[in-house]
Chain A
Amino acid sequence: MSAVLAEPAALEVREVAVHFSGLIAIASMSFQVPEGAIVSLIGPNGAGKTTAFNVITGFLKPTAGKVLYHGADLTRLSPSRIAALGVVRTFQRTSIFGGCTVFDNVLTGLHQRGRAETWASLLRLPWVRGEEDRLAQEANEILAFIGLEHRADEMAGNLAYGEQRLLGIAIALAAAPKLLLLDEPAAGLNPSETEAFMAVVKRIRDRGVTVLLVEHDMKMVMGISDLVVVLNHGRIIAGGPPETVRNDPEVVRAYLGQGVKRAEG
């Protein structure tokens, strides 16, 4: 634990609270994501995991608290500005552009890598073509990395479910993340697909990308995480390396003993 925590924090979530007109989605949440680590955020349904993602990536303004990315507060920035800083996310259900080809999906993800704006595109200035070629090249590289190059011309909406999940990651990778947030990337995958998926996430981490993961699949979480943060009822109840968290009595109760807890409350 200490070895990983010794790294400087890429992301620090500090006392974030989210209230939806009276309903408390997140009471007060603080945790850190060390640079270069894979950190998993877990917890029962409704614990506030996706809400936390929405706050970090600017889709939701927190009621209180701060999200610091290398010291800069993200809570005042728009999602596109946050993406420009290198914090990129995927979405739980549809994280693709279904009506476009797989290749165009990745090309769209590369938006920040291009400079061609309206006039340059309308006048088709000479450098625009060079830029398009460069982006196409990068898109091909990303598709090859993720293993979807043979599907490049297929409509994204026609892909098998597992491939769509991979494409979602490819799009996020195209946005050049330094911190990648994956929202239940393995949901609905079969065990062998999950296995392959874990390998992809590890390879992404090995490229120097910090990964924050929301996931239900415990095998995956325990298999690839350097740190696990456990959220329940909008509060963090445990945090640390997988083996510590696995044996934490509070975590066991959150996952198994909700009936008891509800009876007490």
Chain B
Amino acid sequence: MTARTLAWLFVLFMATLPLWMNDQYILYVLTSTGIFIIAAMSLNLLLGYTGQLSLGHVAFFGIGAYTSALLSLGFDLELGGGEPLVLEPQPVWLAFLGGILMAALFGWLIGRLAFRVRGAYFVIVSVSFAQVMRMVALNWVDLTEGPMALNNIPPLTVWWPGEGVLPLYRKEYYFLLVLAVAVVSFLLIQRLVRSRVGRALVALRENESLARSVGINITRYLVVATVLSAGMAGAAGALYTHYIRIVDPDVFMFIYTVTMVIMVVTGGKGTLAGPIVGGLLFGFLPEVLRDVARPEMQWIIYGLVMIAIVFFLPQGIVPAVAKLFASKRSSRDGRTPATPRVSEGASS
């Protein structure tokens, strides 16, 4: 069985899940985990493939969430004198698209910046960027309601034959929607990293000087990666905001970025399946622990699991598993073990 079949079986399994599983809570956890996996996949494009550590990734997620929420709710804004800027509530999918575009626009800005400040400086700039966004969300009360949060955000809709446009109130449907967006995101990233553009991104990670010397315009590809990554994170944020239906400045908290980084690094950065494996593990771990451990122990175990993975599998789970299979296969064939192509991952 190839990795490809395995991946599609996994998708099929997930898609049929609402048919036979009635536990609404697990479905809720899966949906929010799925949203985070989309964000982690987008982070992986930057962290795993171009090698740029953005510790402000949640900013794109939050920008997508706020933009989509505001466009779907409408707003009126005093811009000092003259007519106030009034926006009527827009259709949710238009708002969703707006969220993606706004996040991508900020991604473009950060991408231009990343070219000027690299390494540790970029990490600091990206962290600050997310903090600034949080401050804006907190203090621009006219627009964002500040800490009072934006409420009653309309859910996303779907057009159904004979029924017309239906809002997605039911958890099952929203779960399927998140699954669909995740699959689309995965395929987009897969196509990108296995193309000429993807090779340019990896070249940037592996040996920047050499990449430039063979004619790769690293500025352009760094910006391309940041824009796509930000747009995808924005989509995840918009999914989140229309799912939870309330958004407050805490969406910009540093801990969310950390969660995404943990998902990517433990799963295997620079592999297609890594963020999914890491995301499922660390999305579900807190829920599993809730049943078996006392509250004060839960986060200690969480931390220990994380340390153990990073310590024993520094490349992440997916490359380690891929290596295991490769060496098994080659010992069966009686060949020398070949190192697997890390950039392709196991279940891709």
Contacts and interface: CB of A to CB of B under 8 A. Distances in A.
A144 B320 CA distance: 32
Given A97-B202, A108-B200, A121 B207 contact: no
Interface stretch (B35-43, B72-80, B105-113, B189-197): B189-197
A88 interface: yes
B243 to A, nearest CB: 26
Contact of B214 (A78, A121, A128, A171): A171
Nearest to A117: B197
Interface in B314-348: 338-339, 341-343
A121 B195 contact: yes
Contacts of A232: none
Nearest to A174: B214
Contacts of A131: 196
Nearest to B51: A99
Contacts of B339: 154-155, 158
Contacts of B197: 116-118, 121
A88 B215 CA distance: 8
Contacts, number: 111
Interface in A103-138: 104, 107-109, 111-112, 114, 116-118, 121-122, 124, 128, 131-132, 135
A131 B197 CA distance: 13
B214 A114 contact: no
B4 interface: no
Given A107-B199, A122-B188, A100 B343 contact: yes
Given A83-B212, A97-B207, A112-B215, A122 B202 contact: no
Contact of A118 (B207, B210, B224, B342): B224
Contact of B210 (A95, A117, A155): A95
B195 A128 contact: yes
Contacts of A50: none
A79 interface: yes
A214 B239 CA distance: 57
B342 A99 contact: yes
Given A80-B216, A95-B210, A122-B191, A114 B196 contact: yes
Contact of B199 (A59, A83, A111, A154): A111
B64 to A, nearest CB: 19
Nearest to B270: A99
Interface in A125-178: 128, 131-132, 135, 153-155, 158, 171-172, 174-175
A108 B203 contact: yes
A101 interface: yes
Nearest to A157: B339
Interface residues of B, number: 32
A131 B195 CA distance: 10
Contacts of A66: none
Contact of A121 (B198, B210, B212, B216): B198
A152 to B, nearest CB: 11
Contact of A111 (B192, B214, B228, B338): B214
A171 B210 contact: yes
A31 interface: no
Contact of A104 (B199, B212, B228, B270): B199
B24 interface: no
A99 B206 contact: yes
Contact of B215 (A80, A94, A116, A121): A80
Interface string A162-203: 000000000110110000000000000000000000000000
B213 A89 contact: yes
A171 B200 CA distance: 13
B151 interface: no
B202 A78 contact: no
B217 interface: yes
Contacts of B270: 99
A98 B207 contact: yes
A116 to B, nearest CB: 5
B196 A111 contact: yes
Given A111-B196, A116-B196, A83 B215 contact: yes
A32 interface: no
A40 interface: no
A91 B218 contact: no
A88 B195 CA distance: 23
B217 A101 contact: no
A108 B343 CA distance: 14
A112 B338 contact: no
B206 A175 contact: no
B328 to A, nearest CB: 17
A84 interface: yes
Contacts of A37: none
B200 A118 contact: no
A259 B12 CA distance: 77
Contacts of A209: none
A96 interface: yes
Contacts of A104: 199, 202, 341, 343
A198 B306 CA distance: 51
A98 B206 contact: yes
8 contacts: A78-B212, A80-B212, A94-B207, A95-B210, A99-B343, A108-B200, A122-B192, A175-B215
Interface of A: 57, 59, 78-80, 83-84, 88-91, 94-101, 104, 107-109, 111-112, 114, 116-118, 121-122, 124, 128, 131-132, 135, 153-155, 158, 171-172, 174-175
